[in-house]
Amino acid sequence: MIDLRSDTVTKPTNEMKSFMMDAKLGDDVFEDDPSVRHLEDMAASMFGKEAGLFCPSGTMTNQIALMTHLKPGDEVICSRESHIYNYEGGGIARNAGASVRLIERKTGLLTVSDIADNINPDDVHQPVTKLVALENTCNRGGGNCYDINEIKAIKEFCDKIGLPVHLDGARLFNAIVKKGHSAEDYGACFDSISICLSKGLGAPLGSLLLGDAHFIKTARRNRKVLGGGMRQVGIVASAGTYALNHHVDRLKDDHEHAQIIANALANCSWINQVLDVETNIIVASLKDDFEPLKFLQKLEDDGVLAIPFGKGKIRMVTHLDVSSENVEKVVESLKF
């Protein structure tokens, strides 16, 4: 099977596994695991941040960021398409006790005026606007990336009024590779950043939350509350270190593969439209009379897995375990 359901399906490579086997371990709740500390420090310094926190998942790093920035009754501004709103089990309300201001934009990318227009006035009737959360790349937008100038404008605006900005950077390295800016460039634009090691980077699990030392200290407390304090977890944190050292530059291969598949999809008689591909995600809508589930079944019969992605749409994602030969086979499978 060629599995294009998500870039989360990758298996650790043999090189990654042997690196994991050699990891030095300790009890990370005592902050005694050298492999975890190395990963947290390495990632923090890549992004020009003071500190990092290793967590089991990207949902947890986002939720901890929300809990750390917000208190009950505060409000976060984010896109209607965002992962924190759609795919984290209502955690904004449940874990942070916060209210949410959704911006309707199909691309999932916000502008500085979206934010300026949605800050509540100092009025007892309204929740207090306390956080802006962006997503880059944007999953529901089809893996699209912000123009860094828009991000800079947002940060500059928010700094003026003392509003922190969080980034759900689950696939930030895809944007880094695509746009050619450095990790530090992005680091300077956010108060906190969440990064997934288990997507395109190919680690079996793990996400990092980055921020200043004081923020991460409180975040560490919130991680414990959620049951995310782990013990000899350097065994998997080391996979993240390996991924950051070896699996970043190759993301451009995934982007090329996604473009090839998108071109083939555009020629498929069942397909109405394919969103522009910028990184490793392909989102396509089917023509009115065509059923996504039937389309996906036809592909599955041919050895290709993809997922339905909202009304009339499908999603495919390229990753470490999809070779150029696999891509050729997918292109052949799409000739119907």
Ligand X SMILES: *Cc1c(COP(=O)(O)O)cnc(C)c1O
Query: Per DSSP, what are the bridge partners of residue 79?
Result: 103
- Element of type H or E holding 285: strand 281-286
Is 100:75 a contact under the CB 8 Å cutoff? yes
Nearest distance in Å: CB 43, ligand X: 16
Cβ 298 to ligand X, closest distance in Å?
26
Q: What is the smallest separation between the CB atom of 270 and ligand X, expressed in angstroms?
A: 26
In 3-state terms, what secondary structure has residue 91? Answer: helix
Residue 156: which H helix or E strand, with range?
A: helix 148-160
- The answer to the question of residue 58 lying near ligand X (CB under 6 A) is yes
Instruction: Tell me the closest approach of the beta carbon of residue 164 to ligand X, in angstroms.
Output: 18
Contacts of 274 (CB under 8 A, 6+ apart): 262, 265, 266, 282, 283, 284
Tell how strand 271-274 and strand 281-286 pair up.
antiparallel
Instruction: Identify which of residues 163 and 196 has a Cβ nearer to ligand X in the complex.
Output: 196
Helices 58-69 and 213-225, axial angle in degrees (round to 10): 110
* Binding status of residue 170 toward ligand X by CB under 6 A: yes
Complex with ligand X: residue 85 or 270, whichever CB lies closer: 85
Question: Measured from the CB atom, is 4 or 264 closer to ligand X?
Answer: 4
Residue 155 has φ and ψ, to the nearest 5°, of -65, -40
Closest CA to 273 of 284, 282, 263: 284
> What phi, psi does 223 have (nearest 5°)?
-60, -40
Tell whether residue 151 is a contact of ligand X (CB under 6 A): no
Q: Stretches 29-37, 53-61, 118-126, 327-335: which one binds ligand X (CB under 6 A)? A: 53-61
Considering only residues 33, 81, 168, 191, which one is a binding residue for ligand X as defined by CB under 6 A?
Answer: 168
Residue 192 as a binder of ligand X (CB under 6 A): the answer is no
Q: Is 135 in the site for ligand X (CB under 6 A)?
A: yes
110 binds ligand X (CB under 6 A): no
Given candidates 13, 57, 120, 232, which one binds ligand X under the rule CB under 6 A? 57
Q: Which residue is nearest to ligand X (CB)?
A: 58
Q: How far apart are CA 94 and CA 11, in angstroms?
A: 32
Residue 164 binds ligand X (CB under 6 A): no
Report the C-alpha gap between 112 and 246 in whole angstroms.
Answer: 35
Listed ranges 24-32, 57-65, 118-126, 315-323: which one lies at the site for ligand X (CB under 6 A): 57-65
Backbone angles phi, psi at 280, to 5 degrees: -110, 10
Question: Nearer Cβ to ligand X, position 207 or 280?
Answer: 207
Contact between residue 27 and residue 231 where contact means Cβ atoms under 8 Å apart: yes
Counting residues that bind ligand X (by CB under 6 A) gives 11
70 binds ligand X (CB under 6 A): no
Q: Which of residues 207, 241, 280, 318 is near ligand X by CB under 6 A?
A: 207
Residue 59 binding ligand X, by CB under 6 A: yes
Q: Which residues bind ligand X (CB under 6 A)?
A: 57-59, 62, 83, 135, 139, 168, 170, 196, 207
